[in-house]
Structure 1
């Protein structure tokens, strides 16, 4: 098992008045990687997933350039009705940010969290972190 890697293009409009990528753009970068990780490649999460929490540590500023950022993602913890996704956002091989997202599987028809299925657990386990990209 190894980290999931997704290349995320920056947009010129991601920069703010201080001439670096605005902190709010990182949520979109994480979302793009998470969607590619689960929904673009697996159908097991169609039952519903919501975001309960985000945490982001900004380690260095990033200035727009045409090369994409590298987002490495892995599953840190699996619980009964949720899981934690960890990320490292890299700019030219240097970690620019570290983040986590707490995801909760959700039953929208009954408006409440639902337990992870065996299929979902198998998918999540495939994204463990062995420390190498």
Structure 2
């Protein structure tokens, strides 16, 4: 995943309710796991309100089954593009060092009061740009 970029990784716990009838983590839960880790990623970057974003785009490829053993996953993030109010991320969910899903998202920062997107501050932009990889290919 890295191609020389700085990869940020976050552990997210799994819960029994995350499983479907076959003992797999339900496909919709992958999105919740990524959302939880993405919020932690933005918090680590010093965003004032790290949960104040909306997804403008999300694509995901499910690569292998994910079970509750072990009871946590690793969510990994790389910044591949930065816009005025958006950040494009390449994301992975891994378990036992095997990639279970790859995704690509476009996060748009959100102004809850004005009910519209908001621009990155200079400080936010500097932090995010410091992690951006040049010429990241499509996952």
Q: TM-score range by the shorter chain?
A: 0.7 to 0.9
Which runs of 4 or more aligned residues in structure 1 lie more than 6 Å from their structure 2 counterparts after TM superposition? none
1:3 and 1:128 in contact (8 A); partners too: no
Report the CA distance between 1:61 and its aligned residue. Answer: 0.7
Higher relative contact order (CA 8 A, sep 6+): 1
Q: Distance in 1 between matches of 2:49 and 2:36?
A: 17
TM-score by length of 1: 0.84
Per-residue deviation, residues 20-76 of structure 1 (Å, max 9, x unmatched): 11101111110121111112x344343942222221110001122144211111111
TM-score by length of 2: 0.81
Aligned to 1:93: 97
Q: Secondary structure at the match of 2:126?
A: helix
Aligned to 1:102: 106
Q: 2:49 aligns with which of 41, 46, 49?
A: 46
Once structures 1 and 2 are overlaid, which stretch shifts more, 67-76 or 108-117?
Answer: 108-117
The CA RMSD over aligned residues, in Å, is: 2.2
Q: Distance in 2 between matches of 1:12 and 1:111?
A: 35
1:52 and 1:103 in contact (8 A); partners too: yes
2:56 and 2:108 in contact (8 A); partners too: yes
Aligned to 1:125: 129
